[in-house]
Amino acid sequence: QAFFCLLLCIPWGSSCPPSCQCTERAGAKAVLCSSRHLEEIPKDIPRDVVFLKLDANSITRIPSNAFGHLSHLEEIDLSRNAIEKIDRAAFRGVAAGLRSLDLSSNRIRSIPKEALLALHAKLRLANNPWHCECALQEVLWEARLDLDSVRDITCHTAPREEYVGKPLLQVLDAGANLCGARQRTTDVAVLVAMFGWFAMVVAYVVCYVRHNREDSCRPLPPAQAHAE
């Protein structure tokens, strides 16, 4: 935060979104759009920005390729918005270079794991109304979460009532496996499909045998019987 405060004092001359302030310090360019009543991510953010602050706005969605043209981007602050939906390809184009992504204090209930697992950035996901499910569990185990905020990832809703209101980390430490139900459902679907395929093969064989039996028992035509 102190770094961003210093950046405020040093403007830079390239194009800047009308609702934002653009600054530079030691060659690192920042676009500061905090508390600007934005409802979507600005489309005219300069390509060479390194730090992007979009916190304390009214943004509801992060669409696909929202930052794809910002190849120098290292930090994004989207905290304290109203984000409910994050597309699978929301961070395509910046995944390799991004070091920090703050999505805390939004309205996020679920998130496609593909949107986050490709990132090398440190993630802040606390204080969202999470639905504790398999995808969130996989994110928790595989993504780089900020350790100071991971305890504040709480189950707002969950498949089992006893998980509601508890930190997700506590639920998982107690031995819960949120991916277990999905795995069982998948196993049942596979078994049903296999049984259906087997029943179809059996029915075909039975019909084939019956058809051959009927042909062998059928009486010969009169002309053919007389010739014999």
The tens-digit pLDDT sequence of the chain (228 residues) is 544 444 444 444 458 999 899 999 778 999 999 999 999 999 899 999 999 999 999 999 999 999 999 999 999 999 999 999 999 999 999 988 999 999 999 999 999 989 988 899 999 999 999 999 998 999 888 889 998 899 999 999 999 999 999 999 999 999 999 998 544 333 333 344 454 554 565 565 556 666 666 666 555 555 554 554
Same-domain check for residues 77 and 105 = yes
> Cα 169 to the chain's mean position, in Å?
19
Is 220 within a domain? Answer: no
Domain range enclosing 185: 179-211
Q: Which residue carries 């004092």 as its tokens?
A: 9
**Quick check: is 57 in a domain?**
yes
pTM above threshold 0.85: no
Q: Does 43 share its domain with 126?
A: yes
Q: Are the CB atoms for 153 and 140 separated by under 8 Å?
A: yes
Residue 101, strand partner residues: 76, 123
Number of domains in the chain: 2
In eight-state DSSP terms, residue 220 is: P
Does one domain contain both 190 and 142? no
Closest CA to 130 of 66, 182, 178, 59: 178
